[in-house]
């Protein structure tokens, strides 16, 4: 039964993290892969508007050492009601996390000291270090690609 | 080399500070405002003659985080307004792109929730002057309207019963005791403010 639930979760592709530090291990790695981490939520209009840029860029960099991680900040009780249906409906195949760490005052500064906590926000990590942070949305896929190219 | 490093640090330091949003920091003198309340009357901080401080909250109707905090904001006003720390809520969102945040929707919400504190329309971009970036975003001012605390109401948006640190209440307690606010800024997730361009 448990196995079955886990399997279904994997199918839906949303991994829930209760602690930021457990999640950040997924992108703070000592390798030369670029991790593009986008913080979003289903209720956040500008986040939803820029998601297609990330999906397009992910396709574009498919054969490169670039990984995209979509981190939903929806409340965890919305996982089955909103997040998973949204991901299914929009046919999102990216790696999706839901960060349920309520100690925002503790984890937000770990992403970036200047981040106010407003979303959307995006960060790029390489070799276990943050190389870029954006608070606010991207205007286009090419804006995002330009930024990624700077760090490839 | 040392000099170069120093210059590099200076340069990066400047470019980082350049990207920071403008607005108040703790210790800054906050400006008063005159904004329209849901009842059509104009409200200013100076209307609260006996205030010992002001809980200015940038919030809105539609944001799930703002909604999670709504009952807590109502409770804060019930507890602290009689003690001289009234809540003044300001909705900074553009009512055109967010119809859920328009004047009628604000009136509706106030009625539905029996909200007794002012809920003002930010027609003067006060949010930008204060440096609010998200909803909800709290600015606690002292009697002289000096900013004493900026940030979140507490440390758990989702679950009021799991709150461990009541940041705002602790800051008010510091003000009441005439102490320097110990935790003067906190971060929180929130909806970015969608004001008119």
Interface check for B19 against chain A (CB to CB < 8 A): the answer is yes
Task: Please give the structure tokens belonging to residue A19.
Answer: 């602690």
In a domain? residue A27? yes
Nearest CA in chain A to B131: A116
Residue B97 has a pLDDT of 85
In chain B, % of residues over pLDDT 90: 85
In chain A, % of residues over pLDDT 70: 92
* B159-173 tens-digit pLDDT: 999 999 999 999 999
In chain B, % of residues over pLDDT 70: 88
Report the residue from A76, A104, A109 with minimal CB separation from B189. Answer: A104
In a domain? residue A76? yes
Contacts of B74 (CB under 8 A, 6+ apart): B113, B115, B117
The DSSP secondary-structure symbol of B29 reads B
In a domain? residue A125? yes
In a domain? residue B1? no
Helices and strands in chain A: count of H runs, count of E runs:
6, 7
Q: Is the pLDDT of residue B21 over 90?
A: no
In a domain? residue A5? no
Q: Is the pLDDT of residue A5 over 70?
A: no
CATH number at residue A116: 3.40.30.10
Interface check for B133 against chain A (CB to CB < 8 A): the answer is yes
Q: How confident is the model at residue A7 (pLDDT cuts 50, 70, 90)?
A: very low
Nearest CA in chain A to B64: A43
Question: B175: helix, coil or strand?
Answer: helix
* A89-136 tens-digit pLDDT: 999 999 999 999 999 999 999 999 999 999 999 999 999 999 999 999
Average pLDDT over residues A1-13: 49
Interface check for B184 against chain A (CB to CB < 8 A): the answer is no
In a domain? residue A83? yes
In a domain? residue B125? yes
Q: Is the pLDDT of residue A3 over 70?
A: no
ipTM: 0.82
Interface check for B92 against chain A (CB to CB < 8 A): the answer is no
Domain that residue B188 falls in = 23-192
In a domain? residue B179? yes
Q: Is the pLDDT of residue B1 over 90?
A: no
Q: Please choose, from the candidates B14, B113, B123, the residue with its C-alpha nearest in 3D space to the C-alpha of residue B71.
A: B113
Interface check for B158 against chain A (CB to CB < 8 A): the answer is yes
Q: How confident is the model at residue B19 (pLDDT cuts 50, 70, 90)?
A: very low
CA dist A65 and A128 (Å) reads: 14
Task: Please give the structure tokens belonging to residue A150.
Answer: 């700077």
Residues of B in contact with A75 (CB under 8 A): 64, 68, 157-158
Give the count of domains, chain A.
1
In a domain? residue B3? no
Q: Is the pLDDT of residue A79 over 70?
A: yes
A73 CA to chain B: closest CA distance, Å? 8
Residue B85 has a pLDDT of 98
Whether A105 and B194 lie within 8 Å, measured CB to CB: no
In a domain? residue B8? no
Domain that residue A127 falls in = 10-151
CB of B105 within 8 A of CB of B197? no
In a domain? residue B18? no
Q: Is the pLDDT of residue B139 over 60?
A: yes
CATH number at residue B35: 3.40.30.10
Residues of B in contact with A99 (CB under 8 A): none
Q: Is the pLDDT of residue B12 over 80?
A: no
In a domain? residue B10? no
In a domain? residue B40? yes
Whether A104 and B134 lie within 8 Å, measured CB to CB: no
Q: How confident is the model at residue A8 (pLDDT cuts 50, 70, 90)?
A: very low
Min mean pLDDT across A5-19, A32-46, A112-126, B36-50 is at: A5-19
* B77-96 tens-digit pLDDT: 999 999 999 999 999 999 99
* B122-131 tens-digit pLDDT: 999 999 999 9
Give the count of domains, chain B.
1
Residue B50 has a pLDDT of 95
């Amino acid at each position: 039964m448990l196995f079955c639930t886990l399997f279904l979760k994997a199918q839906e592709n949303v991994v829930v993290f209760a602690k930021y530090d457990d999640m950040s291990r997924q992108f703070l790695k000592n390798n030369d892969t670029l991790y593009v981490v986008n913080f979003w939520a289903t209720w956040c209009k500008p986040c939803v508007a820029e998601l297609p840029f990330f999906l397009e860029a992910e396709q574009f960099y498919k054969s490169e050492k670039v990984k995209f991680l979509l981190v939903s900040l929806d409340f965890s009780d919305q996982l089955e009601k909103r997040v998973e249906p949204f991901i299914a409906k929009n046919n999102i195949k990216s790696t999706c996390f839901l960060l349920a760490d309520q100690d925002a005052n503790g984890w937000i500064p770990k992403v970036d000291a200047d981040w106010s906590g407003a979303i959307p926000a995006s960060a790029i990590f390489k070799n276990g270090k943050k190389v870029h942070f954006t608070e606010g949305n991207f205007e286009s896929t090419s804006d995002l690609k330009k930024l990624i190219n700077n760090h490839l | 080399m040392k000099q170069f490093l120093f210059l590099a640090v200076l340069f990066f330091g400047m470019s980082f500070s350049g990207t920071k949003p403008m607005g108040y920091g703790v210790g800054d003198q906050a400006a008063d405002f005159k904004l329209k309340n849901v009842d059509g009357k104009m409200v200013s901080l100076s209307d609260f003659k006996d205030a010992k401080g002001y809980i200015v909250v940038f919030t809105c109707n539609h944001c799930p985080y703002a909604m999670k905090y709504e009952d807590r904001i109502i409770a804060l006003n019930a507890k602290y307004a009689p003690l001289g720390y009234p809540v003044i809520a300001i909705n900074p969102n553009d009512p055109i792109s967010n119809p859920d945040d328009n004047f009628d929707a604000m009136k509706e919400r106030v009625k539905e929730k029996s909200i007794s504190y002012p809920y003002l329309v930010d027609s003067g971009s006060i949010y930008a002057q204060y440096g609010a970036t998200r909803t909800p975003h709290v600015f606690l001012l002292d009697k002289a309207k000096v900013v004493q605390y900026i940030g979140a109401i507490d440390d758990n948006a989702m679950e009021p019963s799991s709150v461990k640190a009541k940041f705002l209440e602790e800051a008010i307690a510091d003000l009441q005791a005439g102490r320097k606010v110990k935790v003067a800024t906190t971060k929180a997730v929130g909806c970015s403010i969608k004001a008119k361009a």
